[in-house]
Structure 1
Amino acid sequence: MDVQLGCCWRCENPIEKEVPCDVCGEAKYCSELCRFRDQWRHTPECVEWRPKQCSNPKCGKVSGQHRECSACCDAWYCGETCQRQHWKDHKPSCQKRTQKIREVGELLKVKFQNLSSGSGMRMKSPHYVGNTLAIDMLNLPGNELSKEDVGSAKTSEQDPLESSYCILSAGCGNLRNWIHTVASLPNEFKGTLHTVLNDCDIFVQARNVLQLYMMIMYSDDPNIAERITTIWYSLHLPEEDYKFLIDCLRALLGSSADSLDKLTGGALNLSETDMTDMRQVWAAWLELECRKGHPNYINLQEQRKRLLYQYEEMKNEMRMYRKELPNELLPSFDEYDKHGNFVPCANAKSRNLQYDNPTLTGYMFAHSQSQATDLEFLLILMSGRFVYCIEYQLMPFSEWDYLKVKKHHYNKSMVTMFHSFISDQIKQTIASIKAGAQRVSIIVCNCLDLSARLDVESYRFDRIFTSNIADFSGTQALLKAMKPLLNRANKSSTIITQYYGWYLSVPDSMVYGEITAAQTTLQAPQRVCEISSCAILAAYDINSDYYEDMLSRHPSTMTEECDKVIDTGMFFCQEYFNNMNWFVSYLRAECMAVNKGSQLTKPPSFQKVKQSEGLQLRDFRRGNSNKVVPFRYRRNARPVNMTRGMDRMLEWHFP
């Protein structure tokens, strides 16, 4: 669960008198009112965590000791007798599910083979802005500092607050996860943290090195955190920030890997080969004419407008996104959407924003080119020039947790609110760097090839975060590559795998997941359909005005609206579906696909999946089992974040 221990699962306030869910006992609330309000969102969780009812209708016994059908994982029995008695009735659905797993497994096998060979690979534009929320990759309070881990090897030798830790972020993307991890360290932390940031994208890594350089070399500048935040996200820059950026790019262009290591006191290191490749990116940024009014002005706002607004899909997504936003935030979002400015003031027009931000440019690769409908813009994309390259669904509000942001500093201006939070995260990170607690290594390569770039005998990581690489390689292949790097001496060592697009391989999970939320006391007008009911429940939780608007519609119009909600890909009603079994089916199909050497005639059991590569999966179906990151985030609690109800994170550890 993504709520801090001891806080209410609905309002997140500290619990004085606990009111647990009276069915599963896992969900905790501060009042009966909060429990009532959370019932629709919590129902799919509750179904998974509550004691199971024997699937044999002649029995129906309820117990927490029932065993599931290992073939489909969709039926539960109190014993072999009931399972045999029910087999005749259960057989059709069981065989249908196992056949579906085989089919998905075959599709995934082809997908993984194509991606590993390079065929079928669609290059993506640089992810300067992430598509998932920043996480704390270490989370000491829930691990080394937790009561149950007091007797671990690491804590028995040294105080966890004075220990040295090592983190690998494979497929890291931008710096948000590292910054949030450092900023989340306990105030009493006196140890050190060595982080290896690995990504195969030279553009992203060039930008990461630039921002790290700014943090380290200008740590005494009282305005450096705000300046970095503006350069990170804003389409247009004040003159002083632009000149600062140019000075940093020129300094990096004239540096070697060795000199950079010395300049930063060993806080930042990378290979000369990677540095040479990054220089090409920095040089290209320096060559761009960014001053408004110049004859060769790059005009990123026009490029952004063409990229964002030529696709009907994007228009629908933005329309639905606006409906979810609290009304008081709409003016500030519309202002950001129009201009792309992310500056720390309520009125961006009052600032002298005469320069475009060159670090928001790069190559727009094949998939963006194939989608372009504007011929002139297509020629720009294919020209090999550096152009604005932020995907339309990515923005600052998509990668920082709104719940944490508004708690830090709530403001009716989304830009002001998020800018303040991000700047504070960077300030805390800079303070930790100045204290000598941080060291960062940058490696540009495919994460599956990391063993060739790292001294396996020297590196032992306490946490390995793998982004959503499993979507492209398969979990087992990824675990096989990461396991040798995991620190066996630390009981809390964990590998985290993330799943961003799993549902695309199991499309039935989108519609045919068990819609338990529809069986609630909230009555939808005429119950037009179960999916519409889920969409209404989501709208009720997220935006009461939108909910009232939907209730006022004719049933046919409401159904059409709900269909649009699902088709846009925003998925704001997906957490009201119980598609847990479909996710389990996906993991089993994925296991079939990766085990190329064995001719599996039937899907592996989930028990086998949970013990992949000699590691143990924390079983997300048994309640709040994850200890580092949430299994999934509550979508309905984050109307400002463009998160989806379908994303998942798993944790693996040594048995």
Structure 2
Amino acid sequence: MDVQLGCCWRCENPIKRNVPCDFCGEAKYCGEICRFRDQWRHTPQCAEWKPKRCSNPKCCKESAQLKECSACCDTWYCGEACQRQHWKAHKPSCHERTKEIRETVAPLKVVLRYNSYYVNLRCPYYIGNALAIDMLNLPGNELCSEDVKSEKTSKQDPLKDSYSILSAGCGNLRNWIHTVASLPNGFKGTLHTVLDDYDPYVQARNVLQLYMMIKYCDDPNIAEGITTIWYSLHLPEKDYKLLTDCLRALLGYSADDLDKLTGGALHIAQGTLTAMRPVWKAWLELECRKGYPNYIDLHEQRKRLLYQYQELEEGQRLYRKGLPSELIPSFDEYDQHGNFIPPVNGRPLPYDNPTLTGYLFTEGESRGVGTTETILEDNVRFMVAGKYVYCIEYQLMPFSEWDYLKVKKHHYNKSMVVMFHSFISDQIKQTIASIKAGAQRVSVMICNCVHISRYINEEYGESSESYRFDRIFTSNIADFIGTQVVLKAMKPLLNRQNKCSTIITQYWNWYFVGPYYNRDDEIFTASNKRLAAFDIHSDDIEMLYRLAIPLVRKEECRKDIYRGYYFLQEYFNNMIWFINYLRAEYLATDEGAQSTKPPTFQKVKQSEGLQLRDFRRGNANKVVPFRYRRSVRASVNQTRGMDRMLEWHLA
């Protein structure tokens, strides 16, 4: 659950008088009103967490100790006798579930086999498509007294100890920045973070921003400048000068130079540095001043990209439709000009931002993601200044990767740009303060994460033993190569001395494969039966009537289907779909499988000798939420009802 410990599950204010859900006991509220208003959204969760009732109608015993049918994972029994007695009635639905799993295996094998060699990404992910998370979360793990007592963690004083994080497929710096900014007060230890990605463009941008934080850590305005350079299409003169000065400096450094210059805070292997240099050089050579010959004119490129792909324009319309009304004017301003900077004297910004350029594949093109050498060879083809174009997918915005609930609590403003700019700058300031205190060390790598153990051994030799991690965050790499492949690659890198060590896998595309795809009608029907009695005073009602109900009632609104579809996921229990997807995926990636019989979910939970925290047994995740609530974030964050995060720990 994405609510801070000790806060109400509805309003998120600190709980003074705890009012739990009567059925599951997991959901906590500050009073009866919040519990009543949250009942519609909480019901699907509650159905999974509350004590189960025996599916045998002659028994109906209710208990938390019931066992599930291992074939379908959708019915529960108090014993074998009840299961046998109910089998005749249960058999058709049980066979239907297992049939769905078997039907998913074949298309999954095709998808995973293809994605083992290629990734269908059209552009570098300078802006992410998921919320920034705290990858360490000490309060929920090493600092949690229950964990220290029951798991006997090796951390004697968690606030003074050292931790290591591997962020595989790291994307931009948002997760690292949010992790550092979320370190608890009184933290006196150190954090070593390894940022790995196969994309030299993304890593070139990350290193540029890291260098700015370290080099200009005493500049009180550097955080605001970094935020502007990170997201804004156009730049003021001072920020453009800062950017070009840093690019020139980076081109002149060796890996050893950077290590010494930053006091060991930033470590980059020479091969990785070599791969990023062409990107910095190309950015520096682009003509970014308006009115000059060969001016790149990113504003015009951005407009052409929108017109070329009509679905992007449609996506913006739907996004705007779901925003709180008071935020729409500021979004329109951002959408028109692409500037992510608070108003400055009303004057136009004179420079374009070269770090928003890179490769942009046409639809259907793919990139190889084999060995590290293959990656670099493939990308070098695009490292020519004349080929660099504006390459930000239109649906990727600053507002989609920082939690709106945290942003508006930090500094609410009717201007989305002012509000988010202030929050991100503050996160960067906290990160810089931690760097200055000597608490941060960052290593940057460019390699396929599946081969990262080999890369670390080759790069660091005997000292590679020090590269053992308390947390390993793998983004949604499992969507492309399968969970078992990810776990097999990452397990050797876990810190076995810390019982809180965790691997995190994300899933964004699971429902696009097999019989789960295009079941929106089933979701609408089931959800609206429940929503027919929706409380008119509930905080959700505005979103419901603006986005969901019109879709169901008006056939001509089918273009809006996914906006309402994702919203309604909050009110529909699709847990069995996800569980059976994981079972199908296990079978699809099990090279030694001799039969098509789906594995039990218990077997899946013990993949590669690790143990999955069972998300059906209460609020099980300890590092990140199993999923984020969409309804409380309006449309600002573009969260989808189907995204999931799993946690794996040493058995």
2:641 counterpart residue number = 645
Contact 2:524 2:565 in 1 (8 A): no
Q: Contact 2:199–2:446 at 8 Å: present in 1 too?
A: yes
Aligned CA distance change for structure 1 residues 152 and 280 (closer, same or farther; 3 Å)? farther
Tell me how far apart the structure 1 counterparts of residues 183 and 491 of structure 2 sit (CA, whole Å).
Answer: 25
Q: What does the per-residue CA deviation read over 1:322-375, in whole Å, with 9 as the maximum and x for residues that have no partner?
A: 2221111111011001111001x2x357144110000000000243779xxxxx
Name which of 361, 368, 374 aligns with 1:365.
361
Paired residue type of 2:49: W
- State the 1:544 CA deviation: 1.6
Distance 1:151 1:212, change over 3 A: same
Could you say if the C-alpha distance between residues 522 and 177 of structure 1 is closer, same or farther in structure 2, counting changes exceeding 3 Å? same
1:430 aligns with 2:432: yes
User: For residues 122 and 654 of structure 1, do their structure 2 counterparts lie closer, same or farther at Cα, with a shift above 3 Å needed?
Assistant: same
Aligned pair partner of 1:465 in 451, 473, 481: 473
Picking from 632, 635, 653, the partner of 2:630 is: 635
Partner SS for 1:165: strand
Following superposition of structure 1 onto structure 2, how do residues 96-495 of structure 1 map, counting pairs within 5 Å? 96-118=96-118, 121-151=119-149, 158-343=156-341, 345=342, 347=343, 350-367=346-363, 385-455=387-457, 456-495=464-503
Name the CA shift for 1:368/1:360 in 2 (closer, same or farther; >3 Å): farther
Question: How far apart are 1:316 and its partner, in Å?
Answer: 2.7
**CA 1:447–1:549 in structure 2 vs 1: closer, same or farther (change >3 Å)?**
closer
Q: Which residue does 1:54 correspond to in 2?
A: 54
Q: Is the contact between residue 132 and residue 643 of structure 1 (CA under 8 Å) also seen in structure 2?
A: yes
Q: Structure 2 CA distance, aligned partners of 1:294 and 1:393?
A: 30
- Any idea what SS the aligned residue of 2:566 has? coil
> Deviations for 1:592-641, whole angstroms, at most 9, x for unmatched residues?
01101222330000000000111000000111000000000011111211
User: 2:512 aligns to what?
Assistant: 504
1:216-238 CA-to-partner distances (Å, cap 9, x unmatched) read: 00001110000000000000000
SS in 1 for 2:264: coil
Q: CA RMSD in A?
A: 2.5
1:70 touches 1:606 (CA, 8 Å); kept in 2?
Answer: yes
TM-score, structure 1 normalization: 0.91
Q: Give the letter aligned to residue 88 of structure 1.
A: K
Amino acid at match of 2:101: I
Q: CA deviation at 1:567?
A: 3.6
SS at match of 2:567: coil
Alpha-carbon separation, structure 1, partners of 2:106 and 2:551: 43
Please give the alpha-carbon distance, in whole angstroms, between the structure 2 residues aligned to 1:434 and 1:75.
Answer: 55
Structure 2 CA distance for partners of 1:288 and 1:303, relative to 1, 3 Å: same
Q: How far, CA to CA, are the matches of 2:559 and 2:551 in structure 1?
A: 15
Is the 2:177–2:427 contact (alpha carbons within 8 Å) kept by the matching residues of 1? Answer: yes
Which letter maps to 2:481? Answer: S
Structure 1 residues 539 and 263, CA gap change in structure 2 (3 angstroms): farther
CA distance in 1, matches of 2:564, 2:205: 29
Question: C-alpha displacement at 1:556, in angstroms?
Answer: 4.1
1:533 is aligned to none
Cα 1:157/1:416, change in 2 over 3 Å: closer
The answer to whether the 8 A contact 2:473-2:503 is kept is yes
Distance 1:308 1:540 in 2: 37
State the alpha-carbon separation in 2 of the partners of residues 630 and 577 from structure 1.
18
Equivalent-residue separation in structure 2 for 1:125 and 1:389 (angstroms)? 6
User: Within 1, Cα distance between the matches of 2:330 and 2:603?
Assistant: 50
Q: Aligned-pair distance for 1:541?
A: 4.8
Change (3 A) 1:91 1:539: farther
Partners of 2:585 and 2:524 in 1: how far apart?
A: 22
Is this contact kept in 1: 2:547–2:563, CA < 8 A? no
Per-residue deviation, 1:113 = 1.6
Inter-partner Cα distance in structure 1 for 2:29 and 2:192: 38
Name structure 2 gaps, 5 residues minimum: 367-381, 458-463
Q: Separation in 1 of the partners of 2:167 and 2:325?
A: 37
Task: Note if contact 1:44-1:517 (Cα within 8 Å) is conserved in structure 2.
Answer: no
Correspondence 1:586 to 2:581: yes
Query: Displacement, 1:150?
Result: 2.3
| Cα distance in structure 1, aligned partners of 2:531 and 2:504 | 38
CA distance in 2, matches of 1:45, 1:201: 38
Answer yes or no: is the 8 Å Cα contact 1:123–1:367 preserved in 2.
Answer: no
Superposition deviation, residue 548 in structure 1: 6.4
The equivalent of 1:617 in structure 2 is: 612
Code of the residue aligned with 2:589 in structure 1: it is: V
Deviation digits for residues 14-46 of structure 1 (CA, Å, limit 9, x no counterpart): 111122111222111112211121111111111
- Shift in Å at residue 508 of structure 1? 2.5
Identical columns (%): 70
Change (3 A) 1:110 1:545: closer
CA drift of 1:312 comes to 3.0
- Once the two structures are superposed, residues 413-463 of structure 1 have per-residue CA deviations (whole angstroms, 9 ceiling, x without a partner) of 000000000000000000000011100000100000001111353321000
Matched residue, 1:93: 93
- CA apart distance, 1:565: 3.3
- Runs of 5+ unmatched residues, structure 1: 371-379, 525-536
Q: Summarize the Cα distance change of 1:204–1:520 in structure 2 as closer, same or farther, 3 Å threshold.
A: same
Q: CA deviation at 1:155?
A: 5.2
Matched-pair contact (CA < 8 Å) for 2:548–2:565: no
Distance 2:299 2:272 in 1: 31
Decide whether aligned partners of structure 1 residues 432 and 138 sit closer, same or farther in structure 2, where only a CA change above 3 A counts.
same
For 2:445 and 2:168, locate their aligned partners in 1 and report how far apart those are by CA, in whole Å.
9
Structure 2 CA distance, aligned partners of 1:246 and 1:3? 41
TM value normalised by structure 2: 0.92
Deviation, 1:564, is 3.3
Q: Which residue of 2 aligns with 1:595?
A: 590
How many angstroms apart in 2 are the aligned matches of 1:63 and 1:572? 32
Q: 1:152 to 1:268 in 2, by over 3 A?
A: farther
8 Å CA contact 2:322, 2:543 repeated in 1: no
Alpha-carbon distance between aligned partners in 2 of 1:314 and 1:486, rounded to the nearest angstrom? 40
Q: 1:602 to 1:653 in 2, by over 3 A?
A: same
Mapped partners of 1:349, 1:368: distance in 2: 44
Moved more, 610-619 or 312-321: 312-321
SS at match of 2:426: helix
C-alpha change, 1:348 and 1:304, in structure 2 (3 Å) is farther
1:27-106 equivalence runs, <5 A: 27-106=27-106
Contact 1:465 1:495 in 2 (8 A): yes
Give the equivalent residue in structure 1 for 2:376: none
With 103-112 and 269-278 compared, the bigger mean Cα shift is at 103-112
- Name the structure 2 match of 1:532: none
* CA 1:149–1:205: 2 relative to 1, 3 Å: same
Q: How far 1:392 sits from its partner (Å)? A: 1.4
Distance 2:117 2:548 in 1: 48
Question: Structure 1 residues 272 and 546 mapped into 2: Cα distance closer, same or farther (>3 Å)?
Answer: same
